[in-house]
Amino acid sequence: MRHWALAPPLLLRLPDSFNGGLMEFLLSLGRAFTSSDAFWMWAILAAQVVSVAIIAERSIALFVNRKVNQKDLSKTIAEDIKSGNLDKALRRSLQMSAKEPLGVVASAGIQAAIDMGGKEEIQLKMDEVLLEENSRIEKRIGFLAMFANVATLVGLLGTITGLIHSFAGIANANPVEKAAILSNGISLAMNTTAYGLIVAVPALIMYAVLQNRATKLSEDLNKASLNLFIQLGFHYAPVSDKKERTLV
């Protein structure tokens, strides 16, 4: 019974100590923004603001506005192509292009098929639009890794310059005060490294998450576009191409 009575107070003390340490850490970071080496903290803050903006914009674009459904959508257009109704397929793809990237790629290929441009022209038209759509999916994601590295390096640079100032400041100080001045200086200097890592770790995690999502979306779009290209190339190749294929 005695052990059970002592257990709850012990468990209640752990969150208090954690909260106290966290508050002290946050206050230390706040003081670093007003120290003589505050330039490095503000530089890291700028990197954090930009990285958070990129994460928010890309998350909405890739997880909310885009779905992994392009291959399923291609089946409806492929049915129109198989039935010989290219005008209906073109209208459907143009309506789809307002929200889905497959519509833009499909309309380019279908228009080339209507113009009887041949298999190579259909492929070139679709590849041109496909490259542009894939680049839109992956844009700005690479900057997250860059800002993570910048935040880490700027934090280390701030720590080094802070240590240099701390050791230089105690050169003419009273021997009794040297320890206090040096400990305070080192504490403020280490804040830049800590803050740099705080910014870098989430940025790197979200870089991996967004890159994985972009890869899935690109693969889905590529497979859907390939499906439509196969249908267009087989059913709507020019007469000369069909004769060559028959002779072979």
Domain-by-domain residue ranges, the chain?
37-237
Distance (Å) of CA 204 to CA 76, 89, 105, 238: 39, 42, 32, 50
Task: Pick the more confident residue, 1 or 20.
Answer: 20
Q: How far apart are the first and last CA of the chain?
A: 92
- How far apart (Å, rounded) are the C-alpha atoms in residues 151 and 195? 8
Tell me what pLDDT residue 171 has. 72
> Among 137-141, 158-162, 236-240, which stretch is predicted with the lowest mean pLDDT?
236-240
> Among 4-18, 172-186, 215-229, which stretch is predicted with the lowest mean pLDDT?
4-18
Q: Torsion-angle region of residue 87: left (phi > 0), alpha (psi -120 to 50) or beta?
A: alpha
Structure tokens belonging to residue 188: 């403020």
How many CA atoms lie within 13 Å of 31's alpha carbon, on the beta-carbon side? 14
How many Å is the maximal CA-CA distance in the chain? 99
Q: b or e along 139-161 (b: 16 or more beta carbons within 10 Å of the residue's beta carbon)?
A: eebebbbebbebbbebbebbbeb
Tens-digit pLDDT profile for residues 62-95: 999 988 889 888 988 998 888 888 889 999 999 9
> What would the DSSP string read from start to end of 189-202?
HHHHHHHHHHHHHH
Apex CA 133: angle with CA 115 and CA 73, to 5°? 70
Unique residue bearing structure tokens 């890739």: 62
Q: b or e along 19-38 (b: 16 or more beta carbons within 10 Å of the residue's beta carbon)?
A: eeeeeeeeeebeebeebebb
* 220 pLDDT more than 70: yes
Averaged pLDDT for residues 14-23 = 64
* 181 pLDDT more than 90: no
Task: Pick the more confident residue, 248 or 37.
Answer: 37
Residue 83: strand, helix, or coil: coil
Closest CA to 232 of 219, 243, 241, 221: 241
